[in-house]
Amino acid sequence: MKLCRYLNSYNELRLGLVHDDETVADIGSAEHGRLASLLESDNLGARLKELSNQTLMAAPLTSVRLLAPIEKQEVWAAGVTYLRSKTARMEESDFSARAYDKVYEADRPELFFKSLPEKVVASGEAVGIREDAKWNVPEPELALIINSKGRIVGYTVGNDMSSRDIEGENLLYLPQAKVYDRSCSLGPWINVGATEAEARTWMIKLAIERGGQSVFSGETSVIQMKRKLSELADWLYRSQTFPNGAVLLTGTGLVPGDDFTLQANDKIRIEISGIGVLENHVVIV
């Protein structure tokens, strides 16, 4: 099932279930933390079915505005969970290269704070590249929707926008390479009901267009990730409570070649086979 947050034609904040990627069936208001409380349901799939039986209205997806599928959750991110991320980062840095090697092998994963919920951008909105960075890339990532009890209750598509020159200059600059305006995008909706085993079979595709021409395309699969999804969620919740739940980006397995950097107006398309497509254009912030 695909659960979305959207604005209807009266500009009301609603929750909906997306059918065939074409229509959205309204399942009630999204005001007052309703998404978070739904995500706490012991059997979310059954609860959504119940709500869908009471649906009164359905609208074409093209007639509504999808919002990022997040309410009050902090967004965190895991890093160096795929071999490709480790090698690209070792190449871009000099004295800190060994840190990536060590964290790839270690029990404890790299986890970092990525975004406040209100700063997350939705599909269709602009993502940013920093005006003081010269080498910028999107990072297409599977994002876990985790409830307050630490249970993975859904999945969405994420983009962990990153400045490679800033991170490469000094690993201590990581927060500046990763956290700035419009650096995190999530959407288009939440896949509810898939198991971890299913999620691991999904393909992740990245396509970047400039002036109508393809300038990068690549694909990988979640199966290439070194760690279990539940392992990452478990580490995030150690000695830390998330009363509103959390969203956890699980790391990138796709990094364009070293000669590639994003430019303003580039169009980024990230598709995860079990979820859908997250699309953003680039602005300088």
Residues that bind Mg ion (CB under 5 A): 139, 160, 252
Closest CA to 6 of 122, 118, 115, 116: 122
CA-CA distances (angstroms) from residue 49 to 2, 24, 165, 188?
11, 14, 47, 20
Minimum CB distance to ligand DO4, residue 278 (Å): 15
CB-wise, 85 or 191, nearer to ligand DO4? 85
The reply to whether 140 sits near ligand DO4 by the rule CB under 6 A is no
The reply to whether 251 sits near ligand DO4 by the rule CB under 6 A is yes
By beta-carbon distance, which residue lies closest to ligand DO4? 79
DSSP 181-234: TT-EEEEEEEE-S--HHHHTT-EEEEEEEETTEEEEEEEEEGGG-SS-HHHHHH
Q: Is 221 within 8 Å of 234 (Cβ atoms)?
A: no
Q: Which residues ranging from 55 to 114 are in contact with ligand DO4 (CB under 6 A)? A: 77, 79-80, 85, 89, 110
The reply to whether 164 sits near ligand DO4 by the rule CB under 6 A is no
CB-wise, 79 or 187, nearer to ligand DO4? 79
Q: Tokens 């599977």 appear where?
A: 142
CB-wise, 71 or 139, nearer to Mg ion? 139
Minimum CB distance to Mg ion, residue 176 (Å): 15
Q: Which residues ranging from 167 to 196 are in contact with ligand DO4 (CB under 6 A)? A: 174
237 exposure class (CB count in 10 Å sphere: 0-12, 13-18, 19+): middle
* Residue 3 interacts with which of Mg ion, ligand DO4, none, CB < 5 to 8 Å by class: none
Minimum CB distance to ligand DO4, residue 84 (Å): 9
Minimum CB distance to ligand DO4, residue 11 (Å): 35
The reply to whether 247 sits near ligand DO4 by the rule CB under 6 A is no
Amino acid 120 reads V
* Residue 110 interacts with which of Mg ion, ligand DO4, none, CB < 5 to 8 Å by class: ligand DO4
CB-wise, 160 or 167, nearer to Mg ion? 160
| Member of 252, 254, 276, 279 binding ligand DO4 (CB under 6 A) | 252
SS3 labels along 94-154: CCCHHHHHHHHHCCCCEEEEEECHHHCECCCCEEEECCCCCCEECCEEEEEEECCCCCEEE
What is the distance in angstroms between the CA of the first residue and the CA of the last residue of the chain? Answer: 35
Say how far apart CA 39 and CA 150 lie, in whole Å: 11
List residues near ligand DO4 by CB under 6 A. Answer: 77, 79-80, 85, 89, 110, 139, 160, 174, 251-252
